[in-house]
Chains A and B, each alone.
Chain A
Amino acid sequence: MKRLLSGNEAVARGAWEAGAVVGSAYPGTPSTEIMETFALFPGVYAEWATNEKVALDVVVGAAYAGRRAFTAMKHVGLNVAADALFYVSMTGIEAGLVIVSADDPSMHSSQNEQDNRQYARFARIPCLDPSDSQEAYDFMITAFTLSEQFDTPVMLRMTTRVCHTSSPVEVSEERMTVSTERKYPRNPGKYIMVPANARRHHAWIEDRMIKISRFSETFSGNRVEMRSAHLGIITGGIAYQYAREVFPEASILKLGMVYPLPVEMIRNFANSVEKLIVLEELDPFIEEQVRLMGVEVFGSRPTEYPANKSIFPVVGELDPFVVFHSAVAAGLLPRSQGDEVRWKEEKREIRFVDIPDRPPVLCPGCPHRGAFYVLHKLGLPVNGDIGCYTLGMTSPLNAMDTCGCMGASVGVAHGAAVAGDAERHVAVMGDSTFFHTGMPALLNVAYNQSDVLTIIMDNRVTGMTGHQDNPGTGKTLQGKETVAVEIEPIVQAMGITRVKTVKGYDVKEIERTIKGWLKMKGPAVLITREECALLPSARKRWIPLRVIPGLCNGCTLCFRVGCPAISQSPEMDPVHQRPLAQIDPLLCTGCEICAQICPRNAILLRSQVEMETSGDEYAPH
């Protein structure tokens, strides 16, 4: 039966049917739903690990123990897990091991753009690159087979577009038999990577890649679609779809395995067409190797920086429009063909009006807002981190100076402090980031005693990726009750004595604490704790606040908290002729941050709204 599945759902389904019994991951867009979906299947163990490196070690452990296992992570997750990737490539495995790497071309939700096919070549492992949900499902199953056939971890490389596109998938509904009988396979010569063993293994994995390269010549995922011999396109992954869309007449060599490449197949294909191009997203990964084979590829490479591609952009996500216009610019396609108007670049005068930007913002009721309001007010340099709270950078809060990768905040702030920056640096990260890579960085601050003020914004959940559990929440991925790890004792155990926990909505106490600590030397950690306002338990407490028109004089101070629920009303203050504030009752959660800031007590507090609705009179506070 055909089901409409997203690429992520298809990967999870494929893993289950292939008999994978262990899955471990850290959430990260666009990969998150893979492990969330896998966790729902019967007879599997699936977990959120503290970070991607831990997750990969976990599934390596399962595969060493003779059980099929996999991990899934966003592209930058593999940077964290790279150390583990390289040793497991060297050792090989006992049962199938698959590493799903979800790249994010155009950085819809990422800090950098990278092409993780490069990791497959770097670590000497095969890489499968599906172009739709059906292939994501099929290739996931194939990946486990290949892994065992060639004694290697296999990368299944996804991209945002494949992860988050739904298309019909034919699934088998049956699961392969899962072995449970085996004793732990002891083989220290294979699994202990001391230099003597590792030297032997390096030669072995180079030989392994030659074997897989030979296999790829007959691999069913690599296929030639002969149409017109005028133009031949080598392509793989999502770019295959754009090739079919934009070049319906062209012959195509569709590579399901993008590393290692089938050399003979490529040569034969090149010989069967008049003109050969390579269509791939991001790096010229295939193109470079094809050129290295001595095969002629149409289009001259830019001489200033030969690592660039000749026809299609190296930056950003492709789409039919981009592919079409790149092809036109290279002289491969005419600008217009008869009545064909698709992707035609028309001069469109639609700008009769300015279209205001709609940048992502901290949600109404976001518990991070209070601390960022204070940081903005105090004007301190803030080193940020990866999570919802990165949005503390947005106007009008503008309370962030740097943000690089998971856990970077504390190290970067420490670096500025030890370099002698006279201003007190504040490092900001969330609870999940603290558990991910924040802990070693904070330990470094404690050990080396720098004057970094760290704020851990604990909203009791992994927020940005869509409310995943983490070690602090008391629940596992599969919904089991577990220990809710406390942050304070961890920080104290590091030897940091200045530790305080404040409610996230308590703007005044946050300000008082930070101001007090600015006068003192040494590390300090402020934990601002408040549930994410979008959690079901928090939603139950929503009470929309209201502006008292007689008291508001349009001073605009409440607009500076950057809450989407507060806006300028059409009504004007009679004295100053300034627009009064209004609160959208559909958006407001009643966090009271604006009410605390209002100098004229013109915003009703929750208790006053409740009193009002119960019929009692209220008095301005």
Chain B
Amino acid sequence: MPPINWNTFSGELSFLFVGVGGQGIILASDILAGVGLKLGLDVKKAEIHGMSQRGGSVLSQVRWGAKVFSPIIGKGGGDFMIAFEKLEALRFCDYLKKDARVLLNDGAILPIPVIQGEASYPTNTQIVEALSSITRNVVWVNGTRLAEQLGNPRLTNVILLGALAQWLGLPDEVVLEAITERVPETYLAQNREAYFLGNHLPISQM
């Protein structure tokens, strides 16, 4: 994909954030919605609260455009997926367009049927192979491990945002401003560090 000029961008982009309750998905999608607004775009961000938080699958959707109508993407409508959990990338891949781009965090949270030994968790090779019928634009990020190295596993979300910003060529100052608006001041320095860590990852496919 050629680099986007964000000063003149007037197209539409739809992002899917998927993972498991408690991974910081809602915050990450909030920040990305804020980025869209700062870029002068119309923005909608849709999510589901409640029962799905209790260890269940979580899906948050962000749409950018000159004018956004539907807050939800619908099957086959997504341009980007940011998967905090590998299995969830497969679960929601029907929502992606052909050749959509997928940022895959190499982290697994085992669902109960797997813990019980009733089902097995797919390998990374199986996951990429399964996704390949829809897209080969898959980039792995070791967000969880990098966040642990920073001393706080909860920073995974901002590391992934950093990687996404790199992939999209977003201006750092805009993303950092959106982060500043949504993160408590005491955690700001950590989050900046996490953002740049993700933003400077050497990812060959980008």
* Nearest A-chain residue to B110, judged by Cβ: A567
Q: How far apart are the CA atoms of A4 and B127 in the complex, in Å?
A: 35
Q: B-contacting residues of A (Cβ < 8 Å)?
A: 2, 4, 29-30, 32, 108-109, 132, 160-161, 164-168, 238, 241-242, 244-245, 319-322, 324, 341-346, 348-363, 388, 391, 394-396, 464-466, 559, 562, 564, 566-568, 579, 586
Q: In the docked arrangement, what's the CA distance between A353 and B119, Å? A: 11
Render B164-190 as a binary contact track against A, CB cut-off 8 A, 1 for contact. 000000000000000000000000000
Contact A358 B55 (CB under 8 A): yes
CA gap between A617 and B130 in the complex, in Å: 49
Residues in chain B near residue A320, CB distance under 8 A: 70, 72-74, 77
Is there a chain A Cβ closer than 8 Å to B126's Cβ?
yes
Smallest CB separation, A393 vs chain B (Å): 12
Chain B residues within an 8 Å CB radius of A30: 49-50
- Our pick among B72, B90, B122 for the contact of A319 (Cβ within 8 Å) is B72
- Report yes or no: A359 in contact with B44, Cβ–Cβ below 8 A: no
* A602 smallest CB distance to B (angstroms): 17
Sorted from nearest, which 8 A-B pairs have the closest CB atoms? Answer: A109-B50, A321-B74, A29-B50, A356-B119, A360-B56, A320-B74, A358-B111, A165-B71
Q: How far is the CA of A568 from the CA of B20 in the complex (A)?
A: 20
Contact present for A166 and B70 (CB under 8 Å) = no
A358 to B20, CA, bound (A): 9
Give B77-108 as 1s and 0s: 1 = Cβ < 8 Å from A's Cβ atoms.
10000000001101101100110000000000
B30 in the interface (beta carbon within 8 A) = yes
Do A353 and B20 touch (CB < 8 A)? no
User: Given A30-B50, A241-B71, A395-B112: A353 and B45 within 8 A (CB)?
Assistant: no
Indicate which residue in A164, A245, A360 contacts B69 across the interface (CB closer than 8 Å). Answer: A245
Within the complex, the shortest CB–CB distance from A249 to chain B, in Å, comes to 14
Q: Is there contact, CB below 8 Å, between B116 and A559?
A: yes
Can you add 8 more A-B contacts, CB < 8 Å, to A166-B45, A355-B122, A559-B115? Answer: A29-B49, A29-B50, A109-B48, A167-B42, A348-B94, A354-B119, A362-B54, A395-B112
CB of A333 to closest CB in B, whole Å: 14
In angstroms, Cα B51 to Cα A388, docked, is: 8
A-B contact pairs, 23 of them (CB 8 A): A109-B49, A109-B52, A165-B46, A166-B30, A319-B74, A343-B77, A348-B94, A348-B133, A350-B93, A353-B130, A355-B91, A356-B114, A356-B119, A358-B55, A358-B56, A358-B57, A361-B54, A361-B55, A361-B56, A464-B50, A564-B109, A564-B110, A564-B112
Closest residue to B48 on the A side, CB-wise? A108
Interface centre among A167, A343, A465 (most CB of B within 10 A): A167
B69 touches A242 (CB 8 A): yes
Are A165 and B51 in contact, with the CB atoms below 8 A? no
Q: Which of B71, B94, B118, B131 counts the most chain A CB atoms within 10 A?
A: B71
Interface of A, secondary structure class, is: loop
**Among B20, B74, B98, B109, which residue has its beta carbon within 8 angstroms of that of A341?**
B98
B134-A350 in contact (CB<8A): yes
Nearest CB of chain B from residue A216's CB, rounded to whole Å? 24
CA distance A455 to B54 in the complex (A): 22
Return B104 CB to nearest CB of chain A, in Å: 15
A363 near B110 (CB under 8 angstroms)?
no
Closest CB in chain B relative to A179 CB, distance in Å: 36
Is there a chain A Cβ closer than 8 Å to B28's Cβ? no
Nearest CB in chain A to that of B153: its residue: A586
If A352-B126, A355-B91, A360-B51 touch, whether A562 touches B72 (CB-CB below 8 Å) is no
Task: Establish whether residues A350 and B130, one from each chain, have CB atoms under 8 Å apart when the complex forms.
Answer: yes
Flag whether B140 is at the interface (Cβ < 8 A): no
* Contact A391 B54, beta carbon cutoff 8 Å: yes
Query: In the complex the two chains form, is A568's CB within 8 Å of B111's CB?
Result: no
Interface string of B121-157 (1 = CB under 8 A from A): 1100011011101100000000000000000010000
Contact A566 B44 (CB under 8 A): no
Instruction: Give bound CA distance, A239 to B149, whole Å.
Output: 46
Q: Which among B20, B43, B55 is the interface contact of A168 at CB below 8 angstroms?
A: B43
Residues of B within 8 A of A346 (CB): 76, 98
- Contacts A320-B74, A321-B76, A358-B88; A350 near B112 (Cβ below 8 A): no
Can you list, as one digit per residue, whether each of B26-37 has a CB less than 8 Å from chain A (1) or not (0)? 000010011001
Q: Which residues of A contact B44 (CB under 8 A)?
A: 132, 165-167
In contact, B70 and A357 (Cβ under 8 angstroms): no
- B69 lies within 8 A of A350 (CB): no
Please, which residues of chain A bring their CB within 8 A of the CB of B131?
A: 350
Check A108 against B52 for contact (C-beta < 8 Å): yes
Q: Which residues of B contact A349 (CB under 8 A)?
A: 133
Chain B residues with Cβ below 8 Å from A568 are: 115, 117
Q: Which residue of B lies closest to A586 (CB)?
A: B153
Contacts of A2 in B (CB 8 A): 37
Contacts of B117 in A (CB 8 A): 559, 568, 579
Docked complex Cα distance between A242 and B49 (Å) = 22
Docked pose: A78 CA to B127 CA in angstroms: 45
A573 to chain B, nearest CB (A): 14
In Å, the complex CA distance between A299 and B93 comes to 33
Which chain A residues lie closer than 8 Å to B10 at the CB level? none
Q: Are B77 and A166 in contact (CB under 8 A)?
A: no
Measured between beta carbons, the chain A residues less than 8 angstroms from B114 are 356, 567
From B76, B87, B130, A345 is in contact (CB under 8 Å) with: B76
Task: Give Cα distance in the complex from A396 to B131, angstroms.
Answer: 31
Q: Is the CB of A356 within 8 A of B69?
A: no
Complex formed: what's the CA distance from A319 to B94 in Å? 14
Tell me whether A353 and B122 are in contact in the complex, defined as CB-CB below 8 angstroms, given that A242-B70, A322-B74 are known contacts: yes
- Does A343 contact B74, Cβ atoms closer than 8 Å? yes
A161 and B98 contact, Cβ closer than 8 Å, known pairs A356-B87, A464-B50, A586-B153: no
- State A166–B114 Cα separation when bound (angstroms): 35
B11 interfacial by beta-carbon distance below 8 Å: no
Beta-carbon contact of B71 and A167 below 8 Å: yes
8 Å CB interface, B51-75 against A: 51-57, 68-75
CA distance A32 to B50 in the complex (A): 10
**Among B33, B88, B109, B116, which residue has its beta carbon within 8 angstroms of that of A396?**
B116
Identify the closest chain B residue to A344 (Cβ): B76
Chain A residues near B98 (CB-CB < 8 A): 341, 346
Whole-angstrom distance from the CB of B139 to the nearest CB of chain A?
19
CA gap between A167 and B109 in the complex, in Å: 31
Name the residue among A244, A354, A358, A362 with the largest chain B CB count within 10 angstroms. Answer: A358
